[in-house]
């Protein structure tokens, strides 16, 4: 009787529960699996079929070593047959698959150069895996050995993911920033030339001053006025439109449920609730995309004039009386008073509570983004909900959001993604290039073979920051 009571398999059945996870140590490795000794001294088998969900992996055992500490899940206990079946939770998932899931194409990553070869640079990104920056992507200004002569082993650089292939354990990278000092690139531009593009002027005062000192003309596409004639040049609208689309897809990836309602034999799945705060260009596209994916969408904006636009997309407009708000002559929402922001937080928190996805788009051009969702609101939301902060690059609408990180607050994922339009980079580049081409073709003068800077023109007057050695926009002078 005493012997039965001391039977380790009877004790194992009492001490270990099916579905629970326990720590153990690998004691033996065979072709059919790995034997793991749990902390209580009982030994179980992790069958090879339970080792890895990566279907293309030929030999899952190569990711486990003798005496390796692992975390396992109990699948079955059979004292009569003295058998303990385990599933492997930790160490045998393919790190390349995990990396690909957490770092989609277009993600910017800091890395350190591990090796320099004739065909490119090997870079360890985020202290995890090695990726290759191919020679053709190292420096477009140079070719051959000259392209890599400025790089050194152990040099820290910023990269951008071009392609990931977990089955071949390969990451293709591009270099996001080529120069330690971006001002050095101005040395290659002759006097009287014009730089035209998205300048980020409010965080690039040094560039504006340097261009003026070097007599380089500087045109900021962000300052294109919102007039009918200039719509074809409006980079903020073209990029915000794509960012709104990408925001919904990004948020949906972090949500553990489907967006549309589904009626299946297993039961009816309720549609996800999406709440969009801010109904500008990005917000309207986010509403339209979420509706197309089958979600139940609500939206709020401080400007009552957008209510009809929201309803035309099939969404519900949330009315919050904040008093006098309105919009600027450029169509942007006016900055709210602290009292109005506090009232907005309180009333919209009720909508956030019932939402599965909240997307915030509120930005003030040239100013830090307003904080419209605080931690108290986040704590009221359901665990598993997602908040995507589209304003994270300018300070963020959500308390605790971090650029290019996912922060977990009481089970709610707060997602901050920089330059969301890069998630659809092909169309973002197409739209941006067309915006720039339209500006050039409107103001290019065939006779002088250059740009006609006619400062009587509203577009030129607004978008040119530096001209002939002078800073023209008084906000940066």
Question: Distances from the Cα of 161 to the Cαs of 114, 130, 133, in angstroms?
Answer: 17, 12, 9
Strands 296-300 and 316-317: parallel
Residue 84, φ and ψ in degrees, nearest 5:
-125, 115
**Separation of first and last alpha carbons in the chain:** 93
Q: Which regions of 82-233 does DSSP assign to beta strands (E)?
A: 83-88, 108-117, 120-125, 129-134, 156-165, 170-175, 194-197, 217-220
Helices 281-292 and 235-254 cross at an angle (nearest 10°) of 40
Q: Which helix (H) or strand (E) holds 470?
A: strand 470-471
* Beta partners for residue 158, in sequence order: 110
Nearest CA to 352 out of 325, 370, 336, 376 is that of 376
Tell the burial category of 66 from Cβ atoms under 10 Å away from its Cβ (0-12, 13-18, 19+): exposed
Catalogue the active-site residues. 226, 231, 234, 237, 332
3-state secondary structure of 259: coil
CB 116 within 8 A of CB 132: no
Q: Which two tokens stand for residue 196?
A: 């035209």
Question: Distances from the Cα of 464 to the Cαs of 183, 197, 227, in angstroms?
Answer: 19, 11, 16
Q: Which two tokens stand for residue 61?
A: 């055992």
d(CA 235, CA 243): 12
3-state secondary structure of 443: helix
Nearest CA to 425 out of 123, 135, 160, 126 is that of 160
Please, what sign has the CA dihedral across residues 79, 83, 85, 90? Answer: positive
d(CA 76, CA 17): 9
């Amino acid at each position: 009787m005493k012997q039965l009571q001391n039977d380790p398999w009877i004790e194992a059945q009492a001490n270990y529960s099916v579905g629970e996870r326990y720590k153990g140590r690998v004691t033996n490795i065979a072709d059919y699996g790995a034997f793991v000794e749990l902390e209580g001294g009982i030994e179980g088998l992790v069958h090879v079929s339970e080792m890895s969900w990566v279907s293309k992996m030929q030999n899952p055992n190569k990711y486990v070593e003798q005496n390796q500490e692992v975390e396992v899940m109990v699948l079955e206990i059979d004292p009569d047959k003295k058998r303990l079946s385990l599933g492997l939770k930790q160490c045998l998932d393919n790190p390349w698959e995990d990396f690909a899931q957490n770092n989609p194409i277009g993600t910017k990553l800091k890395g350190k150069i591990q090796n320099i070869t004739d065909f490119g640079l090997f870079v360890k990104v985020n202290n995890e895996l090695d990726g290759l920056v191919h020679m053709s992507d190292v420096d477009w200004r140079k070719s051959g050995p000259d392209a890599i002569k400025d790089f050194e082993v152990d040099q820290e650089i910023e990269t951008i993911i071009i392609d990931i292939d977990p089955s071949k354990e390969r990451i293709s990278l591009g270099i996001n920033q080529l120069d330690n000092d971006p001002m050095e690139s101005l040395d290659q531009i002759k006097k009287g030339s014009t730089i035209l593009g998205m300048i980020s002027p409010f965080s690039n005062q040094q560039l504006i001053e340097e261009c003026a000192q070097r007599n380089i003309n500087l045109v900021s596409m962000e300052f294109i006025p919102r007039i009918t004639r200039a719509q074809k040049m409006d980079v903020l609208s073209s990029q915000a439109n794509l960012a709104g689309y990408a925001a919904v897809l990004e948020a949906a990836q972090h949500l553990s449920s489907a967006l549309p309602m589904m009626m299946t034999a297993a039961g009816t799945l309720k549609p996800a609730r999406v709440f969009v705060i801010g109904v500008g260009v990005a917000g309207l596209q986010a509403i339209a995309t979420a509706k197309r994916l089958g979600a139940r969408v609500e939206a709020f904006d401080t400007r009552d004039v957008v209510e009809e636009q929201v309803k035309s997309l099939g969404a519900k407009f949330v009315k919050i009386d904040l008093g006098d708000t309105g919009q600027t002559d450029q169509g942007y929402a006016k900055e709210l008073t602290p009292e109005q922001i506090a009232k907005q937080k309180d009333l919209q928190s009720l909508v956030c509570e019932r939402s599965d996805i909240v997307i915030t788009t509120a930005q003030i051009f040239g100013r830090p983004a307003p904080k419209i969702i605080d931690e108290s609101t986040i704590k009221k939301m359901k665990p598993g909900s997602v908040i995507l902060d589209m304003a994270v690059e300018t300070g963020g609408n959500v308390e605790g959001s971090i650029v290019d990180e996912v922060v977990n607050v009481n089970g709610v994922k707060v997602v901050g993604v920089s330059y969301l339009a890069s998630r659809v980079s092909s169309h973002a580049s197409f739209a941006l290039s067309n915006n720039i081409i339209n500006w050039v073709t409107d103001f290019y003068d065939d006779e002088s073979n250059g740009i006609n800077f006619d400062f009587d023109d509203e577009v030129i007057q607004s978008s040119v920051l530096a001209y002939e050695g002078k800073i023209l926009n008084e906000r940066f002078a």
